[in-house]
Amino acid sequence: MFTNKQIWHAIDLLAEQKNLSLAGLARAAGLDVTIFNFSKRTGPDGRPRWPSTQSLAKVLMATGTPIEVFASYMNVSSGFRASGPTIPLIGMAQAGTGGFFDDAGFPVGGGWEEINLPQVDDENAYALEVSGDSMEPVYRAGDILIVSPNASCRRGDRVVVKTFAGQVLFKTLKRQTAKTIELASFNPDHEDLSFLLDEIDWVARVLWVSQ
């Protein structure tokens, strides 16, 4: 017999053995990059969740790992750390095309790259690469934003906003009411924007920017 904890430990060790992050392991198998996140290992009721047999089969096939080897990992000590500096990354233009975020604004899907950046507390954090000139002279194409979908947003915070129309915007939160949200632009050549809240898919706070 084996336990839920042993199965997850074996997945962690498999990622370590293949020199992959958990997101990288999932992406290699064509799975949602968040499927092995530590937040996914417990249900809303506090009960442990088990990885699906389908996800395990895809991971073993993608990594060329025999089931016997995977089973042996269940009782092997691991140096795998629950949190690390690797987070998913896509370009801002790509982020608006759909399929990269769930309804809560968390990263999903298999099209993300991975980068090593300073560690943040939100394990659902992700990175966006700036494109275009709408944020100059403060930010330029190629700068990297670390975004936290779990962080609360207040006036003056730098935020990423996704509209239901597919726009992904990096702005400063100027004001939010019960019905509208106002966003200030970094580039004086671009006007500030205002949206009805029912036009907004999600808003996430920017924690850090590389320049």
**CATH code for the domain in which residue 174 is found:** 2.10.109.10
State which of 50, 75, 100 marks the end of a domain.
75
Q: Are residues 18 and 50 in the same domain?
A: yes
Task: For 146-180, write each residue's pLDDT tens digit.
Answer: 898 888 899 999 999 999 998 889 999 999 999 99
Q: Are residues 112 and 58 in the same domain?
A: no
Q: What is the pTM of this model?
A: 0.56
Q: What's the pLDDT score for residue 1?
A: 63
Q: Are residues 101 and 205 in the same domain?
A: yes
Q: Are residues 204 and 111 in the same domain?
A: yes
- 33 within some domain: yes
Q: Whose structure tokens read 């904890």?
A: 5
Q: How many CA atoms lie within 13 A of 10 on its CB side?
A: 22
Print the domain residue range for 174.
87-210
Q: Are residues 99 and 202 in the same domain?
A: yes
Q: Which contiguous run of DSSP H or E holds residue 26?
A: helix 22-28
Amino acid at the residue 95: A
- 82 within some domain: no
Task: For 76-97, write each residue's pLDDT tens digit.
Answer: 654 444 444 567 888 887 888 7
Q: What's the pLDDT score for residue 16?
A: 80
Average pLDDT score, the chain: 83
In the chain, count of helices (H) and strands (E)? 5, 9
- 80 within some domain: no
- 39 within some domain: yes
Number of structural domains (the chain) is: 2
Nearest to 198 by CA among 178, 169, 171: 178
- Confidence band of 25 (pLDDT split at 50, 70, 90): confident
Q: What is the CATH number of the domain that holds 57?
A: 1.10.260.40
Q: Give alpha helix (H) positions in 64-119.
A: 67-72, 92-95
- 81 within some domain: no
Using an 8 Å Cβ cutoff, are 89 and 112 in contact?
A: yes
Mean pLDDT score, 107-114: 75
Using alpha carbons, list the distances in angstroms from residue 206 to 144, 145, 184, 186.
Answer: 10, 6, 14, 14
